[in-house]
Amino acid sequence: MCGLAGCLIGAGAGRQERARIKEIFLANLLANEQRGREATGVVACQRDGSFSYEKGAMPASSFVEQEGCKNFFSEKICGETVILLGHTRDPTKGTVHNNDNNHPIVVGETVGIHNGVISNDDSIFVTLMQDGQDRPRIGSVDSEAIFALLDQVDANQPLAGFCKGLQQASSQLLGSFTTLFFNRKFPTTLFCLRYENPISIHYDQDLKSLFFSSRYVFLRKTFGRAVISPGMPGRTGFVFEAEKMKTQGKTPTLTFDLSQN
């Protein structure tokens, strides 16, 4: 059991809105500590596809007091930030003392966080090596297999075709998973694959932003009765675009079926 926290910041969010978004993201990360206390990490993606992250083997309450995390929140979250992801880890495979096993996990152009257990990660990497993948496995955490597969999908194609590739890639995964991730080729787009594990969502019109949390109760306490759905549908992939939230709210741009997993 791990905790996921995320935010997709929409166009038009000004300085005051962004200050509040930062506060909520921090509170969301801390609220998810009860789902995983062994390691914590955060990542911010900018509009141009560049990103910065911090992570370490400690609970969120300790992590946020570290100088690196304080600098992340003060310097790396700015007016160009579109995506924020946070993770609290309860490890099932891969020691937290190797930071490559902690989230966020970076594989090529793909950066993401995961809650769940992948049971065929070793065989996935064997297959990728046989198929000529030129990147060795970095850590030993099972989650890395997810992002290694997703990074094989050609991102130099329209979004619909890319999502078809994500659907096909994710069909190779055995186990349970919910992921939030972005690809640097689509820097204003946040992807969510929810097979079984919980994730809840809320769009706040005033903040022009979409919030994700493994803890429905956090969103409910933060935003009140406006949070009406306890969770996103399972066995579904979701695509959210920052530029379209003003008209679409929490309605995804695209969805695709994961039931073949």
Half-sphere exposure of 88 (CA within 13 A, CB side): 26
Cα separation, 6 vs 87, whole angstroms: 9
Its domain, for residue 161, covers 3-257
pTM above 0.75, yes or no: yes
* Of 44, 88, 87, 22, the residue nearest 190 (C-alpha): 44
96: its two tokens = 């937290």
pLDDT 10s digit of each residue in the chain, 261 long?
Answer: 899 999 999 988 999 999 999 999 999 999 999 999 999 999 999 999 999 999 999 999 999 999 999 999 999 999 999 999 999 999 999 999 999 999 999 999 999 999 999 999 999 999 888 776 666 889 999 999 999 999 999 999 999 999 999 999 999 999 989 999 999 999 999 999 999 888 999 999 999 999 999 999 999 999 998 887 777 888 999 999 999 999 999 999 999 999 765
59: its two tokens = 């609970």
What's the structural domain count of the chain?
1
Question: In this predicted structure, what is the pLDDT of residue 133?
Answer: 65
Alpha helix locations (H) across the chain? 15-31, 60-63, 67-71, 121-130, 144-150, 159-170, 216-223, 245-248
Q: What are the strands of the beta sheet with 175-183, ordered from one edge?
A: 105-107, 110-118, 175-183, 189-194, 236-241, 254-257
DSSP for residue 219: H
Identify the burial level of 230 via C-beta atoms within 10 angstroms of its C-beta, where 0-12 means exposed, 13-18 middle and 19 or more buried: exposed
Question: In this predicted structure, what is the pLDDT of residue 233?
Answer: 84
Identify the burial level of 38 via C-beta atoms within 10 angstroms of its C-beta, where 0-12 means exposed, 13-18 middle and 19 or more buried: middle
Question: In this predicted structure, what is the pLDDT of residue 121?
Answer: 94
93: its two tokens = 């495979």
CATH number of the domain residue 176 falls in: 3.60.20.10
To the nearest 10 degrees (0 to 180), the angle between helices 15-31 and 216-223 is 140
Question: In this predicted structure, what is the pLDDT of residue 80?
Answer: 95
